Amino acid sequence: QQPVQSPQAVILREGEDAVINCSSSKALYSVHWYRQKHGEAPVFLMILLKGGEQKGHDKISASFNEKKQQSSLYLTASQLSYSGTYFCGTATGTASKLTFGTGTRLQVTL
């Protein structure tokens, strides 16, 4: 079953913050985050493994709450380059395939 992302779309002004959520009905081993710009391939951002760790690089970070089967992606001080569609991908085990979420379209404006 496909994980559900919220919101479906968000518009920000440059410098504002955003949170994108990913929720699954299954017990998860890991959550992946990807960003896809229009007309391009999805690009890997980060993986969060079971254990509730939080990760981040630059001004993009994420958390994973394994008890709730939820992950959140945090974008702080957004830049124009952050625009695109963000997908979470979930895996239920170490040897499982990835199931992608519905996507969240993010647009950053001046």
Partner 1 sequence: DAGVIQSPRHEVTEMGQEVTLRCKPISGHDYLFWYRQTMMRGLELLIYFNNNVPIDDSGMPEDRFSAKMPNASFSTLKIQPSEPRDSAVYFCASSLGLAGAYEQYFGPGTRLTVT
Q: Does 100 bind partner 1 (CB under 8 A)?
A: yes
Q: Does 6 bind partner 1 (CB under 8 A)?
A: no
CA distance 36 to 15: 20
Name which of 4, 25, 34, 3 is nearest 106 in CA terms: 34
Three-state secondary structure call for residue 28: coil
In the region spanning residues 52 to 71, those forming contacts with partner 1, defined by CB under 8 A, are none
Q: Does 110 bind partner 1 (CB under 8 A)?
A: no
Shortest distance in whole angstroms from residue 20 CB to partner 1: 15
Would you say 64 and 71 are in contact if contact means Cβ atoms under 8 Å apart?
yes
Interface ranges with partner 1 (CB under 8 A): 2, 29-30, 32, 40-44, 47, 49, 87, 89, 91, 93-103
